[in-house]
Amino acid sequence: MKRCAEIAVGNNSKRYKHLPEATDDASANAATGSSLLLGSTGCRSTIDPRDAALDLSPSCKNFYTPLSMQIANTSGINVIGVVTHLGDVNRTTTGELCRSVKIVDPSNFDAAVDFGIVYGKGFTVNCFTAKYPGWLPSPKLNDVLILRNIRVSDFNGRVNAVVYKDKLQWAIFSSEAGDMHHGDKGGAPDSESLGDAFGYPQGPFYIARQNAELVYCRQLLDWWDASLSIVQNKLGSIHKIEDSNSSALSRCHRLISEASPYLEPGGFINCTIEVLKIEKIQGGIVEVFATDYSLHPHVGDFFSAELADRVMRIEMNDAAADLEENMKPGDYWFLKNTRVKCGHETSLLEGRLREKKGVRKLDPSDLSNEPYFEALLRRKEEWKMANRSSDGHLNHLLITEATEDILFNCTVEVVRAEFNPGSLSYLYITDYTALPSPPTPVTAPGALDNYILKIALSQGQIDMARKVDRGYYRIRKLRLQRLSEGDGFRGRLGGNDTLIHELNPSKFNSQHLTALILRKEAWLAQCQ
């Protein structure tokens, strides 16, 4: 093909073999991302109107929906398209950041018809995020953009697509470099934990793991080159559009430790679990607390401290709610098509099961052809062995000696309590030793800031924040948990056992309490 012109896109200059020479006005429009009118004049070339790239089917497996096939009032939709417009970052009246983007694929762009205005046409998606501009897509014109988890609605008779701040997932396939990237993040973190930093780390940067996605992105670029060549030459070739009949990726068997709402397809997994608790809640929903004895730091603290981060809450509704009649604590089950999602109130991972097809109860006496069940029972025995010793055998440690995710006992001074009914409550403690890692900043008296550990209380421990006064305490089964990259540690204390015990120095003689008081006196002397 003959090279025809050079235009500026953003801050990069690139030769496009398919574009005619643009006027100064058109070049300015292209540079700002607004509509570019391709006129009927321009240099000609001997282009084959049946370029094979024009026959591209507008889909990638069946995880991505063609842009022209969006149906109102649907959510969880994934799309891929070539960028024809990128709006500025704006702040909404609610304080969120928003950017609009327009994309095309073979289903909504026909080179035989759309030979006039090219840039500025396409399917519009409004993307939202809470506080980081770098979390919004930042492609260039002609790049391929992957957008996941969009919601499509009908607004005044027109299809409206949005990606909300807690759902946003995107990736860019560069038209220049031919690779996947996430643009200029502007110093924004890759992910951030919600739910007061104890929730599942969420971020907008999608990582393409399927080779089909990369192949389709390259095919889209070839199709776009061929289409714009047709536009330039006004040859009017009509390409065919085919529906994808490829089968869905099968649901993989996953451990709780592997659970993520971003697993393909759509966060659905198969899993083998032991039922710990089951009950009906409002709306005919059945609530199940289940474990497979694998560890996940973002499923919450339920039951005992030993089971913390090993129990996931699963909602069963619709047909799956009928399973409650035959399900009881201590039973083992294989659950098929369980969707992993982030809880709206807690941002912790939880499951949802709506169908009972393929769900079955497991028999511990028959492990034939049940490798996942057998592995669960092995993990359970290992967990029992690790927790068989009495609580008195847990190490008594200074906070500075504690290790992530290992239960320990400690003797501390509580400097502040924060009681939040119906939510996480907190204790702020110190033993006057340096913390193992920079903590989340807290408000503390004087120079104590760098010595304070914030403990999140859940389950039966929440009420202790109301009962505890400033003073000395022994805390059992405390555990440190990393919040997110670079954010240090906080303490976790859950379960329903009595784990916080007040110590009176005049009545209770302990080497740990005596040592704590001596460290406090030394610290006070330094502050004078």
Backbone angles phi, psi at 526, to 5 degrees: -65, -30
Percent of the chain with pLDDT over 90: 24
256-386 is classed CATH 2.40.50.140: yes
Residue 506 has pLDDT above 60, yes or no: yes
**What number is the average pLDDT over the span 229-242?**
47
Check residue 330 and give its pLDDT.
Answer: 93
Tens digits of residue pLDDT in 187-219: 888 887 765 555 667 889 998 877 889 999 999
Tens digits of residue pLDDT in 101-149: 999 999 888 776 665 557 777 889 999 998 888 999 999 999 999 999 9
Check residue 137 and give its pLDDT.
Answer: 94
Tens digits of residue pLDDT in 449-478: 678 889 888 777 888 888 888 999 999 888
DSSP codes joined into one string, 459-518: GGGTTHHHH--SEEEEEEEEEEEE-STTS-EEEEE-SSS--EEEE-TTT---HHHHHHHH
pTM (predicted TM-score): 0.46
Residue found by looking up tokens 């697509």 in the block: 161
Residue 327 neighbours by CB distance under 10 Å: 17
Tokens of 165: 């701040």
Q: Assign 3-class secondary structure to 222-248.
A: HHHHHHHHHHHHCCCCCCCCCCCCCCC
What is the H or E stretch that residue 426 is in? strand 425-430
Q: How far is CA 174 from CA 146, 179, 219, 517, in A?
A: 11, 5, 13, 61
What does the domain layout of the chain look like in residue ranges? 40-233, 256-386, 392-527
Residue 23 has pLDDT above 80, yes or no: no
Check residue 438 and give its pLDDT.
Answer: 52
**What number is the average pLDDT over the span 11-38?**
33
For residues 289 and 276, give the distance between their C-alpha atoms in angstroms, rounded to a whole number: 6
Tokens of 77: 């939709």
**What number is the average pLDDT over the span 16-21?**
34
Q: Are 82 and 231 within 8 A, CB to CB?
A: no
Tens digits of residue pLDDT in 429-454: 999 988 765 554 555 545 566 788 89
For residues 430 and 449, give the distance between their C-alpha atoms in angstroms, rounded to a whole number: 10
Closest CA to 474 of 455, 495, 501, 498: 501
Of 243-252, 284-293, 323-332, 357-366, minimum mean pLDDT range: 243-252
Judge if 40-233 and 392-527 fold alike in CATH terms. yes
Pairing of strands 311-316, 349-353: parallel
For residues 105 and 99, give the distance between their C-alpha atoms in angstroms, rounded to a whole number: 20
Architecture (CATH level 2) of domain 40-233:
Beta Barrel (2.40)
Residue that wins the pLDDT comparison between 272 and 109: 272
Residue that wins the pLDDT comparison between 58 and 377: 377
Residue that wins the pLDDT comparison between 457 and 239: 457
CATH classification number, 392-527, choose in 3.40.50.1000, 1.10.3720.10, 1.10.240.10, 2.40.50.140: 2.40.50.140
Check residue 25 and give its pLDDT.
Answer: 36
139 DSSP 8-state letter: P
